[in-house]
Amino acid sequence: MKKVGFFRSIHLKFVLIYVLLILIAMQIIGVYFVQQLEDTLVTNFKTSLHQRVNLLAYSLKEEMIKERDEESPSLEEDVRKLLKDFKAADISEVRVVDSRSRIIGTSSQNKQDIIGQRTTEILVKRALAVGQDYDRVFIDPNTGHRIWVLSSPIKSNKEVIGSIYLIAKIETVFEQMKVVNSILASGTAIALVITAILGVLLAQTITRPISDMRKQALAMSKGNFSRKVKVYGYDEIGQLAQTFNNLTKKLQEAQATTEGERRKLSSVLSYMTDGVIATDRKGRVILINEPALEMLNVSRETVLSKPLIELLGLSEDYTFEDLIQEQDSVILDYSTNNEPYILRANCSVIQKETGFVNGLITVLHDITEQEKIEMERREFVANVSHELRTPLTTMRSYLDALADGAWKDQEIAPKFLEVTQNETERMIRLVNDLLKLSKMDSKDEALTTSWIDIVSFFNRIIDRFELTKNETITFKRLLPKHSIVIEIDEDKMTQVVDNIISNALKYSPEGGQVTFRIIEQEEQIVLCVTDQGVGIPKENINKIFDRFYRVDKARTRKLGGTGLGLAIAKEMVLAHGGDIWATSKEGRGTTISLSLPYDRSKEDDWS
């Protein structure tokens, strides 16, 4: 997670909010205070001058209505005396105007020449005309300062006999306000600094547990549930910290439970022999185990996020919605001309409690062997039925002929009875072979093993066949001169070797040769029987050990074979822990080889 910068931290936001609140409060208070103070000072300034003007007006009225003789001073001189005493630092000039708008006096020594002139001031004319005070604030063009101008009428018996025109320096009031504003600004700055310091301290008390909880959340996101948030108090934030610690504990327990379940699920999926594929709600693969990868012969990187129907090769026949609604198994046939390969797919819908489809679980089963077994069973039943029907049909035909009177014929009757006897013996051999296979398949027939010399054993069987073989066929023995002792069931291995040598003699041509070999290897002994017959086609070489399989069916039946000899031999060799196989070249002959376990150390102990 990206680290939070100082200018984006909640700490700074707390301080800024606190300072801004104080600043806004100070500004509101300052504006209201300054405005009220300014109004008060201006009002006091005007009231004070009004009072002085009223006193001056009273004195001027007495002088203006007084009767004068020749020896008395003139009105202008009396007015000059009064104005001379009417001085103040705030007053720039005072003019006295009679009822005819003629200036009869001024307090300014530099403007004595305007005495006797008519005034042009509008405020004076209004005061003379209306009999009321008029005032206004102006900007002095010479100094740029504000001045207050007042025109107040002089009345005698409610008759306006003149006017006083006052020019005052009201700028001093605003200069005082500047000083007050400066003091207020300094106080505000000091208050803000103190507020900021207190805000930092206050913010720390709030942000410290929040910062601890943030660090704890980061640690939890990385899987560390060992940290605890320090509780600094028992207020709401302290309760939040305690709740956060409880949440951490609950999450730790839930995470441990989830991890345990995940490991169990992972183990189950890993050790399952069936393939498992999980999809999301759109049908894209999100999980697949190793058996499924092996069954489909794909890699994990290529199938993740791939649509399930494409992965299974069902795009032409199914949609993902069809698989969701499918109740039965789906058979996936990946068989080739050379190798059968069939899978069965069972689909299970993942649904929430609301019924919303959240995905699909598909379980793959490899049913190739089951299908092969089922096919072999059908073929076995068909073969057994055929093998039994053929001699039974023959016997029925001959018996019917005998019943119709052929038994009276001295020449035909013995032949018919001989054929019937041969077919009966053939069925007996077939049933016996089937019983042997049944016992081998059910593991009911146990091996009775003993230590024997395999070279002597092989020689005895060859000697027996050499007495009964066709004189035109020769035997060639390539056997070791020394003894090789192994542990086998002598009776069953005798049946195996008898069957192999019998087949070699059946398929050997006149003047042919049968070769016998024993090959001594590190951990096994290999017995080989080679004939010089017509050989077995390459495409049939792996089928000769199947039940009822015959390369030359007509010749085999003629010689009384059941088609089960090599199948029985294979089962017996496998029961000994060995193996049996065939190699052949058409027109040059066939070699049947069987291997048996061989342990030199045990042979030495036996010796």
By the 8 A CB rule, do 97 and 103 touch?
A: yes
> What percentage of the chain exceeds 70 in pLDDT?
89
pLDDT of residue 515: 93
Containing H/E element for 139? strand 134-139
Could you give the CA distance from residue 528 to residue 517 in angstroms, rounded to a whole number?
5
In single-letter form, the type of residue at position 51 comes to: Q
Q: How far apart are CA 333 and CA 312, in angstroms?
A: 10
Whole-angstrom Cα distance, residue 448 to residue 576?
11
pLDDT 10s digits, 158-173: 888 889 888 888 888 8
List CB contacts of 88: < 8 A, sequence separation 6 or more: 52
- Res 2 pLDDT > 50: no
Contact 130, 62 (CB under 8 A): no
Span 36-63, pLDDT tens digits: 888 888 888 888 888 888 888 888 888 7
Q: Please, what is the average pLDDT of the chain? A: 81
- 342 strand-pairing partners: 333
| Whole-number Å distance between alpha carbons of 570 and 592 | 11
- pLDDT, greater one: 72 or 454: 454
- Give 339 or 578, the one with higher predicted confidence: 578
| Residue 117 DSSP one-character state | S
User: What is the SS3 assignment for 349?
Assistant: strand
Mean pLDDT, to the nearest integer, of 473-483? 90
State the residue for tokens 């004189």.
Answer: 471
Q: How many CB atoms lie within 10 A of CB 554?
A: 8
1 pLDDT more than 60:
no
**pLDDT at position 561, please?**
52
In Å, how far are 223, 394, 397, 418 from 403, measured between CA atoms? 95, 14, 10, 15
Dihedral over alpha carbons 197, 201, 202, 207 (to 10 degrees):
130
Residues pairing with 311 in the sheet: none
What's the pLDDT score for residue 554? 44
pLDDT at res. 558: 47
pLDDT for residue 103? 87
Report pLDDT digits (tens) over 280-302: 888 898 888 888 888 888 888 88
Higher pLDDT, 226 or 99: 99
Q: What is the secondary structure of 46-99 as a DSSP string?
A: HHHHHHHHHHHHHHHHHHHHS---SSSPPHHHHHHHHHHH---TTEEEEEEEET
Among 6-10, 20-24, 316-320, 338-342, the minimum mean pLDDT is found in: 6-10
- For residues 233, 234, 237 and 242, what is the CA-based torsion angle, rounded to 10 degrees? 100
CB environment 207-222: b (16+ within 10 A), e (fewer): bebbbbbeebeeebee
Average pLDDT over residues 303-330: 85
The residues near 583 (Cβ < 8 Å, ≥ 6 apart) are: 541, 590, 591, 593
Say if residue 446's pLDDT is above 60. Answer: yes
* CB contact set of 49 (below 8 Å; sequence gap of 6+): 90, 91, 148, 150, 166, 168
Distances (CA, A) of 231 to 202, 206, 208, 567: 16, 12, 10, 82
Which residue spans within 273-356 are E strands per DSSP? 275-279, 285-288, 330-333, 342-351
Q: What confidence tens digit (pLDDT) does each residue in 531-562 have?
A: 988 888 887 787 787 766 665 544 444 444 55
Q: How far is CA 82 from CA 46, 53, 55, 92, 103, in A?
A: 21, 12, 11, 16, 15
Q: What is the DSSP string of 234-282?
A: SSHHHHHHHHHHHHHHHHHHHHHHHHHHHHHHHHHHHH-SSEEEEE-TT
Helix 171-221 and helix 10-65, axial crossing angle in degrees, nearest 10: 170
Angle in degrees, CA 43, 49, 55, rounded to 5: 135
